[in-house]
C-alpha cells in the first residue's frame, strides 16, 4: 500500500535527488519548512555598541588612512550573527564615519540610498546635488539614491556620524551602480537651506517636480527642530505605552516616509518610562541621542547612554526603560515592507 513506507524508499529518493541535481533541479519538500517558516527567521541577533568603546577605533582610523584614500572612512557595525556581511540587520548597513578638519570625502553617487545621523562634532557638511548642509549633533540627513554627494570638514574638530544604507536591499535586486565625480568636491549651485525653503514650510513650487524621485526633497532635518516638535508633543498628549512620543520623518510632497526603502523615526521617553512590549517585522537600529536607559530585546538587556547604538532583529520583542529623559533615533526597512504588504506589528 502507498501509505506503508517501503524499506528502500530512502535510497530511491537519494538516487532521484542525485540524478535531478545534474540538471540543476532540487526537491522543494526537502527545504519547504526553511523557506516558509511559521514566523520570521533571521540570522540577525540583538546587539549593542557602546560608543565609548567604539570611539577609540574610529579615531585611530583617522591616523591610519585619509578620507580621500578611504573614499569613505567608516568603521562598520557588523551584527554578531552576520559577521563579514557588512550588515546591522538582514537588509540594512550601518557604520560610523569620521571626517577630520580640512578633509574632503570625494564626491560620488550610487544607487543605494543613505542616511546620516550626526553623533559627534559640528562644522562639517554634506553636499547633495549642488547644495550643502552643515552638520550638527542629532541632525538627520539624507543622501538620495543616485545623487552626487561629498562630505567636507572646514571646521576645527572631528565629526562623526552614523551611516545607514539599503545596501542589501539593492544587492538583492542586483541593481547596484556607482559613479565617481571628476573632482573631489562638486560645485555648489544653491545656497544652504534652499531645499527647506522650497519644500519645508507646507508649501511647494507650482507643479513641483520631485528633485529626488521618491525621496524627500528636504534632505536635512535639523535636530533642533525635531527636538522642539517632540517637546511640544509631550505637552499636548500622553505618551504611547510602547513608544513614548514617537514621530516618523516624512516626505512633505507625499506625506509618506522620507525615503522609499528606509524609515527614520525619533522618539522621546520621559524619565522613569517603562514601555510595554512591542515587536514588528522590521529589524531596527537605534541611536541614543540623549539620556540613559535599558533596552531589553528578546532575552537580552543592554544599558545604553548617549551615542550608543543597539539593534532589535525582526519580530524580537522590545522593551525600553528610561532612567533619565531619553531621545532615540531609529531606522529600519519599514517603508519597503509596507510597499510590499509585508509589514506586521504586535503590541503587548
pLDDT at 8: 65
Cα–Cα distance measured from residue 87 to residue 44, given in angstroms and rounded to the nearest whole number: 9
Task: Tell me the pLDDT tens digit for each residue of 108-144.
Answer: 999 999 999 999 999 999 999 999 999 999 999 999 9
Task: Tell me the pLDDT tens digit for each residue of 194-222.
Answer: 999 999 999 998 877 899 999 999 999 99
- In this structure, the number of other CB atoms found within 10 A of the CB of residue 25 comes to 10
pLDDT at 348: 84
Tell me the domain boundaries of the chain: 47-347
Q: What is the dihedral of CA 153, 330, 179, 337, to 10 degrees?
A: -170
* Architecture of the domain whose range is 47-347: Sandwich (2.60)
pTM: 0.94
Label residue 115 exposed, middle or buried (CB < 10 Å: 0-12, 13-18, 19+).
buried
- DSSP letter for each residue of 98-125: EE-TT-EEEEEEESS-EEEEEEE-SS-E
pLDDT at 141: 98
Amino acid at each position: 500500500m502507498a501509505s506503508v513506507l517501503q524499506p528502500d524508499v530512502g535510497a530511491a529518493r537519494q538516487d532521484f535527488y542525485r540524478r535531478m541535481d545534474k540538471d540543476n533541479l532540487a526537491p522543494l519538500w526537502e527545504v519547504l519548512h526553511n523557506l516558509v517558516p511559521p514566523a520570521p527567521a533571521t540570522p540577525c541577533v540583538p546587539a549593542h555598541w557602546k560608543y565609548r568603546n567604539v570611539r577609540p577605533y574610529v579615531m585611530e582610523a583617522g591616523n591610519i588612512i585619509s578620507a580621500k584614500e578611504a573614499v569613505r572612512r567608516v568603521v562598520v557595525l557588523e551584527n554578531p550573527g552576520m559577521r563579514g556581511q557588512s550588515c546591522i540587520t538582514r537588509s540594512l548597513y550601518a557604520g560610523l564615519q569620521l571626517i577630520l578638519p580640512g578633509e574632503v570625502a570625494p564626491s560620488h553617487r550610487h544607487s543605494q540610498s543613505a542616511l546620516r545621523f550626526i553623533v559627534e562634532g559640528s562644522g562639517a557638511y554634506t553636499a547633495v546635488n549642488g547644495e550643502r548642509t552643515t552638520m550638527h549633533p542629532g541632525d538627520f540627513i539624507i543622501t538620495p539614491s543616485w545623487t552626487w554627494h561629498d562630505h567636507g570638514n572646514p571646521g576645527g574638530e572631528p565629526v562623526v556620524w552614523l551611516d545607514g544604507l539599503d545596501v542589501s536591499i539593492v544587492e538583492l535586486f542586483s541593481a547596484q551602480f556607482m559613479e565617481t565625480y571628476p573632482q573631489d568636491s562638486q560645485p555648489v549651485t544653491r545656497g544652504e537651506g534652499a531645499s527647506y525653503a522650497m519644500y519645508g514650510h507646507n508649501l511647494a513650487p507650482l507643479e513641483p517636480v520631485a528633485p529626488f524621485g521618491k525621496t524627500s526633497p528636504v534632505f536635512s532635518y535639523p535636530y533642533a527642530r525635531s527636538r522642539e516638535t517632540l517637546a511640544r508633543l509631550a505637552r499636548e498628549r500622553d505618551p504611547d505605552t510602547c513608544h513614548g512620543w514617537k514621530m516618523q520623518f516624512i516626505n512633505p510632497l507625499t506625506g509618506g516616509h522620507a525615503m522609499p526603502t528606509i524609515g527614520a523615526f525619533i522618539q522621546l521617553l520621559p524619565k522613569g518610562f517603562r514601555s510595554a512590549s512591542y515587536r514588528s517585522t522590521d529589524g531596527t537600529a537605534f541611536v541614543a541621542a540623549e539620556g540613559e536607559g535599558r533596552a531589553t530585546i528578546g532575552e537580552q538587556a543592554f544599558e545604553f547612554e548617549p551615542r550608543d547604538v543597539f539593534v532589535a532583529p525582526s519580530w524580537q520583542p522590545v522593551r525600553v526603560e528610561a532612567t533619565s529623559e531619553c531621545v532615540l533615533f531609529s531606522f529600519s526597512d519599514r517603508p519597503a515592507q509596507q510597499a510590499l504588504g509585508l509589514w506586521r506589528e504586535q503590541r503587548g
